[in-house]
Amino acid sequence: MAQPEVVSIGALLVEIMRKEVDSPLDKPDDFVGPFPSGAPAIFADQVARLGHSVGFIGAVGADDFGKCILDRLKADGVDTSRVAEVEGIATGVAFVTYFADGSRKFIFHMGNSAAGQLPMPDAEYFAGARWLHIAGSSLAAGGRLREACYEAARLAHEAGVQVSFDPNLRPELLGGEEALRGICAPVLEVATLVLPSGEEAEILTGAQGADAACQALLAGGVRYVGLKRGAAGCTVFTAEETIPVPGFEVAAVDPTGAGDCFDAGFVVGLAEALPLYEVGRLANACGALGATKKGPMEGAALREDVESFISSSQ
């Protein structure tokens, strides 16, 4: 594959989940999986399924869980030439259970996994790219994974590649809001697009209220903000206009990964120079469909299915 149009970088892992709702992880019960996962990988898979060339920078163990991830990405057309297969270190794993109130609980086996052994980005890989996507969950991992994301952001910016950023960070795990802002700063400084929830936008800026926080992101140099509003859809912010875009009603089966599918739809919409309202519609549709199947990457829909879903919902 030639240098891809979109590049994603970060943690690769498999997810193993409880079969039944309200089954706590501290008791024996059945699991189902493994499912390919990792926020930046879900994003990349959805971009590929929407018909755009995309490459991934990351690492897996030289084991069956790594093969599970790579087989899925390759089957959907993601370029994995920059994914290292590391001997002697296992692929990352997340165990998850869901509760009837909509909450989730995770146990991550990531600290000593292969995810942090990814190759450092090189300028050559960005030569034909238009977008780089970074997920905050990879910044949260620290170490080489965080440094590789920072280096990718620097190289992309120098090459004129636009950077999209989904903060997706939990301040309580990273030393509070001030520490979180410091972790995000090297990416935010070069970001063209930020894709936060309202709470995340407030944390990133210190502003009160989601709309004010999104305006603060724009004032800081971001060109587009795609504010995620869950079932209500999203709002697209630019310096010139604010565009609310209604969501789609679906029966949610597994919300994990839906936000990453949303991110992919948004980036693809901008790459195709769609009107901003249509960018939001495409992102909302991808996000909604992303929640309709068990497994974080399983809801990533093909372009024709996304377009059919949008048409049938009008």
Residues catalogued as catalytic: 260
CA distance 221 to 215: 10
The two structure tokens encoding residue 58: 């990351």
φ, ψ for residue 39 (rounded to 5)?
-50, -50
How far, in Å, are 7, 11, 131, 137, 144 from residue 124 at the CA level? 12, 21, 14, 25, 20
The two structure tokens encoding residue 118: 């990814």
The DSSP call for residue 118 is P
The two structure tokens encoding residue 184: 């995000």
Write the DSSP assignment of 60-82 as a string of letters. Answer: EESSHHHHHHHHHHHHTT-EEEE
> In 3D, which of 114, 92, 217, 233 has the Cα closest to residue 166?
217
The two structure tokens encoding residue 259: 């936000």
